Chain A
Amino acid sequence: MDAEDDLNCRQASRLLSLACERPLDARELRSLKMHLDECLMCTNFEMQLRFLHKASEVFRNAG
């Protein structure tokens, strides 16, 4: 395993947000997946980003 591929939560959260703006490259994806496999907090953050995206869409179209 490449040590520089080990992400901390700050870096992982940055990549998760970035993934909303552009496709991640293979290296970014690999290190992010490795981090998420071990980190429940960032997995929660990922689900919250999906929720924010969904809620924003509903916000625009609300009755």
Chain B
Amino acid sequence: MILSTAMTAPPTNPRFAEIESHRGYLVRYALSQLRDQQLAEEAVQEALLAALEGIGKFDGRSTLRTWLTSILRFKVIDLQRRLVAERANVALDDDRIVEDHDAWLDDMFDETGHWRSPPQAWNDPEAALEQRRFWEAFEMCLAGLPSTASRVFFKREVLGEDTPVICKDEGITSSNCWVILHRARIALRGCLERNWFGREAVHGR
């Protein structure tokens, strides 16, 4: 569905590929706000189409990604208003979340609390930030987290929101928020090590 709708955008627009390359980030952003894959993709689709039409108004004072995000934010707010009208925001089951994440952490460490899969030294990680394929791996790893962990991590680390604000929005306690972030960070580092930093010998850089 994404592909077919993407194709309806005018491919003759010279900025099309450039704008389209931000779709992955924008979907993560929308998901962090909307918790619903289909709605998130809908919001991103509308935002990208609006961006293509209005690209002439982009003045380059911010990055293209920041500009696209600001367009998306309006679409997201529209959808949130619609959602609030349709259904009460369903609070998460606090206890179950912590049980799930604790159980997952149990698997990461042995009975004596040692890493089962010890973190390795990463060679020149900063260099990865310059590589397009690293960002594909980064997006894939974010998308591979459980939805709560992905959303909370995105709000905390990518958007830089304060933890108390995030916990309040999510309707969970601070300590449960911390458990979720702890899990997210361990899972992300593991995913990046498996898919990027552990494979340096394979992909050369």
* Complex CA distance for A40 and B126, rounded to whole angstroms: 20
Q: Which of B63-95 contact A (CB under 8 A)?
A: 63-66, 69
Q: Which of A38-61 contact B (CB under 8 A)?
A: 40-42, 44-45, 47-49, 51-61
Known: A51-B125, A55-B138, A59-B138. A8 touches B114 (CB 8 A): yes
A interface residue numbers (CB < 8 A to B): 8-11, 13-14, 17-18, 20-22, 40-42, 44-45, 47-49, 51-63
List the A side residues contacting B35 at CB < 8 Å. none
7 nearest A-B residue pairs (beta carbon): A8-B113, A56-B157, A10-B113, A44-B119, A17-B182, A41-B118, A10-B109
Q: Is the pair B120, A44 in contact by a Cβ cutoff of 8 Å?
A: yes
Q: Is the pair A62, B65 in contact by a Cβ cutoff of 8 Å?
A: yes
Whether B40 sits at the interface, judged by CB under 8 Å, is no
Q: Is the pair B182, A62 in contact by a Cβ cutoff of 8 Å?
A: no
Q: How far is the CB of B192 from chain A (nearest CB, A)?
A: 8
Q: How far is the CB of A48 from chain B (nearest CB, A)?
A: 4
List the B side residues contacting A56 at CB < 8 Å. 153, 157-158
List the A side residues contacting B182 at CB < 8 Å. 13-14, 17-18
Return the contact of A59 from the options B158, B174, B186 (Cβ within 8 A): B158
* Complex CA distance for A18 and B183, rounded to whole angstroms: 11
B182 nearest CB neighbor, chain A only: A17
* Complex CA distance for A55 and B126, rounded to whole angstroms: 8
When each residue 175-196 of chain B gets 1 if its CB lies under 8 Å from chain A and 0 otherwise, what string results? Answer: 0011001100110110010000
Q: How far is the CB of B142 from chain A (nearest CB, A)?
A: 9
Q: Is the pair A17, B138 in contact by a Cβ cutoff of 8 Å?
A: no
Return the contact of B129 from the options A11, A18, A45, A58 (Cβ within 8 A): A58
Q: How far is the CB of B190 from chain A (nearest CB, A)?
A: 10
Q: Is the pair A9, B65 in contact by a Cβ cutoff of 8 Å?
A: no
Q: Is the pair A48, B163 in contact by a Cβ cutoff of 8 Å?
A: no
Whether B112 sits at the interface, judged by CB under 8 Å, is yes
Whether B25 sits at the interface, judged by CB under 8 Å, is yes
Q: Is the pair B122, A48 in contact by a Cβ cutoff of 8 Å?
A: yes
Q: Is the pair A62, B25 in contact by a Cβ cutoff of 8 Å?
A: yes
When each residue 107-146 of chain B gets 1 if its CB lies under 8 Å from chain A and 0 otherwise, what string results? Answer: 0110011110011111001101100000100100000000
Q: Is the pair B138, A61 in contact by a Cβ cutoff of 8 Å?
A: no
The 22 sampled A-B contact pairs (Cβ below 8 Å) are A8-B109, A8-B112, A8-B113, A9-B109, A9-B115, A10-B108, A13-B182, A17-B181, A17-B186, A41-B119, A42-B119, A45-B119, A47-B122, A47-B125, A48-B189, A48-B192, A52-B188, A55-B128, A60-B160, A62-B22, A62-B63, A63-B63
